[in-house]
Amino acid sequence: GENVEQHPSTLSVQEGDSAVIKCTYSDSASNYFPWYKQELGKGPQLIIDIRSNVGEKKDQRIAVTLNKTAKHFSLHITETQPEDSAVYFCAASGSSGTYKYIFGTGTRLKVLA
């Protein structure tokens, strides 16, 4: 069935370093890949997304890359700050004809000051 795997489950980085979170999806029909940041007690907040016709997208310190052939996509955060500490979820749209999201298991990012 549809599945999204996400690694690592936890990630600690020093402030100012980069963080990379990787996801793999199973459904080759998925064509939309959002990333969400979830802070404690809050709902997931969209931080960046990418469509399958694009290989890379950047928004200030955040970038996402997509390799359709390998069915991999990654989140890159540069110059990390303590306020980047949160749980990050990747997601993939479902099969053609559906707009449900299949979520990854989440990565708890801790940025150490």
Partner 1 sequence: EPEVTQTPSHQVTQMGQEVILRCVPISNHLYFYWYRQILGQKVEFLVSFYNNEISEKSEIFDDQFSVERPDGSNFTLKIRSTKLEDSAMYFCASSGGGRETQYFGPGTRLLVL
Which spans of this chain sit near partner 1 (rule: CB under 8 A)? 32, 34, 36, 41-46, 49, 51, 89, 91, 93-94, 98-106
The minimum distance between CB 77 and partner 1, in angstroms, equals: 20
The minimum distance between CB 64 and partner 1, in angstroms, equals: 14
Q: Which is nearer to partner 1, 14 or 97 (CB)?
A: 97
Q: Which is nearer to partner 1, 18 or 26 (CB)?
A: 26
The minimum distance between CB 17 and partner 1, in angstroms, equals: 26
CA 50 to chain centre: 10
CA distances from 98 to 10, 64, 93, 102 (A): 30, 23, 8, 11
Closest CA relative to residue 9, chosen from 112, 111, 104? 104
Q: Which is nearer to partner 1, 72 or 108 (CB)?
A: 108
Helix ranges (DSSP H) in the chain: none
Q: φ, ψ for residue 56 (rounded to 5)?
A: -155, 145
